Amino acid sequence: MLRSIALAAAMAFSALAAAADEVNVYTSRQPELIQPIFDAFTGETGITVNVLYAKKGLIERLKAEGDRSPADLYVTADIGNVKAATDAGLTQPHGSAAVESAVPESLRDAGGHWFALTTRARVVYASKDRVAKGAVTTYEDLANPKWQGRICTRPGSHYYNLALVAAVIAHHGPDAARDWVDGLKANLARKPQGNDRAQVKAVWAGECDIAIGNTYYMGKMLEKEDQRPWADAVRIVFPVFEAGGAHVNISGAALTKSSPNREAAARLVDFMLSPEAQRLYAEINYEYPVRDDVAPSELVSSWGSFTPDTIALTQIGDLRSEALKIIEETGFDN
């Protein structure tokens, strides 16, 4: 279904040119996660938002299209993905006053090329039955031999885990990060596999006692009747770095270099960072607003509070290739 939507959208986008009252968005985020925000924007402004969804390959598409690209905004998840577009010379400064006022400096590019829309924390899902409260407090502790055979995670080469390893490098240096990855690997209950929800299912099934995952998956599991038992079997724990806070990542956006509808795109950016849209976006995705004056949803708030790490996301993005090298050299996914 999504593939057919993407293909149809691609055919339509190939015929698009600059048009009044339109914005063209390339996104790797599933349409149901962001379409309500675009619908609200259209209802308020009359500006149509055309969306091209593709799980992979959007940066390559932007490169191939060059100055002829109809894309105005690139919307994606993970600092590495949004920063890669900037590093490839595919973006331009956003020109939005809302970004400067609403988005903390650590969550946006100093040159104005990319910015966060929402955040999520990478946390521990701990078994309510087999892990005592307070047993996990730091990311560093996940490499402690006391967890041998008790941890589940998705592959280390996935960008969620690469960002976490990059954060370990930022805090402790590459040698200590390699030791940490080796220690975490020694504590795995099984070969890294599946997505974040699959790890929580494994805790529920007794295959492991703790899992690493993003916060919003708790909300996603609670939406589905067959997955609620997985969610009910665990509690969310917010680890911190020994000299920092909880690791966070983003869903983010960047204005494309080729943007044919720059003024309308800037209006969309302003809207997505407005209190109304921030509240809606965070509630739909079970993520955290970037605005300090917008609270998380009641459900997300029930998971507990945490202090975000202060390492700038630009640094996390810059260290992702080094993180991947460590994952590959340690054979973490084997």
- How do the residues of the chain divide into helix, strand and coil, expressed in percent and rounded to 5? 45, 20, 35
DSSP category for residue 145: G
Of 16-25, 298-307, 318-327, give the lowest mean pLDDT range.
Answer: 16-25
Q: Is it true that 2-119+250-295 and 120-247+308-329 share their CATH fold?
A: yes
How many other C-beta atoms are found inside a 10 Å radius of the C-beta of residue 278? 24
d(CA 206, CA 218): 18
Q: What is the pLDDT of residue 6?
A: 44
Domain extent listing, the chain: 2-119+250-295, 120-247+308-329
Q: Are strands 48-53 and 22-27 parallel, antiparallel or unpaired?
A: parallel
Residue whose entry in the numeric block shows the structure tokens 């720059």: 262
The amino acid that residue 208 corresponds to is C
Taking 50 as the threshold, does the pLDDT of residue 251 lie above it? Answer: yes
Taking 50 as the threshold, does the pLDDT of residue 261 lie above it? Answer: yes
Output the CATH code of domain 2-119+250-295. Answer: 3.40.190.10
Whether 25 contacts 50, CB under 8 Å = yes
Higher pLDDT, 97 or 109: 109
In the chain, the N- to C-terminal Cα span, in Å, equals 32
Element (H, E) at 129: none
pLDDT in tens, 166-222: 999 999 999 999 999 999 999 999 999 999 999 999 999 999 999 999 999 999 999
Mean pLDDT for the chain?
92
pTM over cut 0.85: yes
Q: What is the pLDDT of residue 281?
A: 83
The residue-averaged pLDDT of 277-291 equals 91
Residue in 109, 105, 128 with CA at minimum distance from that of residue 308: 105
Of 31-35, 37-41, 157-161, 194-198, give the lowest mean pLDDT range.
Answer: 31-35
pLDDT in tens, 152-166: 999 999 999 999 999
pLDDT in tens, 12-29: 554 444 555 899 999 998
Of 4-8, 51-55, 93-97, 210-214, give the lowest mean pLDDT range.
Answer: 4-8
- Alpha helices, DSSP H only, in 24-126? 31-45, 58-65, 79-87, 97-102
Q: Would you state the structure tokens that stand for residue 184, as one six-digit string?
A: 């975490």
Q: Where does the pLDDT of residue 30 fall: very low under 50, low under 70, confident under 90, or very high at 90 and above?
A: confident
Residue in 9, 25, 113 with CA at minimum distance from that of residue 76: 25
Taking 50 as the threshold, does the pLDDT of residue 42 lie above it? Answer: yes
d(CA 271, CA 118): 13
Phi, psi of 318 (to 5 degrees): -65, -30
Q: How far, in Å, are 83, 175, 290 from residue 91 at the CA level?
A: 10, 34, 21
Give the CATH number of domain 120-247+308-329; options: 1.20.1070.10, 2.40.10.120, 3.40.605.10, 3.40.190.10. 3.40.190.10
Q: Would you state the structure tokens that stand for residue 192, as one six-digit string?
A: 């890294």
